[in-house]
């Protein structure tokens, strides 16, 4: 009789653990998505800064004042590619995600740029 009385308690404890796993999964998922979104946003900012610097340097007039590129621009580029390499390493080694899936995932920036360009073509601001 004691064994039957212990079963509902064990089931209730298991259900509480399952609910906890459910909301923790959501919480961790949202946290991971927020971190990933922040990294993608910073990556885009660093890329934009590098392209803007490249435009300034390439459009400088010959014989005029040479544009100065801040050292932080070079450091941001190095950090950007270092972070990208570290991310690929962690995902590939620890999470065992196939390389093809990672390549497609890293194409998200290109897909976003293409979608934004198509949006501008189809809905011009002027």
56-113 residue pLDDT tens: 888 877 777 777 888 888 888 888 889 888 888 888 888 888 878 777 777 776 787 7
Residue 17: inside a domain: yes
Total count of residues recorded for the chain:
126
Residue 102: inside a domain: no
Range of the domain at 65: 2-71
Domain count, the chain: 1
Residue 34: inside a domain: yes
Residue 49: inside a domain: yes
Please name which of 57, 81, 51 lies closest in space to residue 69, comparing C-alpha atoms. 57
Residue 11: inside a domain: yes
13 is written with which tokens?
């404890």
Residue 29: inside a domain: yes
Alpha-carbon distance of 14 to 42, in angstroms, equals 41
Distant-in-sequence, close-in-space partners of 62: CB < 8 Å, separation ≥ 6: none
Q: The whole model's pTM is what?
A: 0.53
Q: What percent of the chain lies above the pLDDT cut of 90?
A: 0
Residue 90: inside a domain: no
DSSP 50-79: HHHHHHHHHTPPTTSPPPPPPHHHHHHHHH
Can you tell me the mean pLDDT for 19-24? 80
Q: Do 76 and 46 touch, CB atoms closer than 8 A?
A: yes
């Amino acid at each position: 009789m004691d064994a039957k009385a212990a079963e509902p308690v064990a089931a209730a404890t298991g259900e509480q653990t399952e609910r906890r796993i459910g909301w923790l999964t959501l919480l961790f998922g949202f946290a991971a998505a927020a971190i990933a979104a922040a990294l993608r946003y910073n990556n885009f900012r660093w890329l934009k800064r590098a392209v803007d610097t490249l435009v300034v340097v390439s459009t400088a007039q010959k014989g005029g004042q040479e544009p100065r590129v801040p050292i932080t621009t070079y450091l941001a580029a190095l950090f950007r590619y270092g972070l990208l390499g570290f991310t690929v390493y962690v995902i590939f080694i620890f999470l065992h995600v196939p390389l093809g899936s990672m390549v497609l995932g890293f194409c998200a920036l290109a897909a976003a740029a293409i979608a934004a360009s198509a949006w501008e073509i189809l809905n011009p601001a002027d």
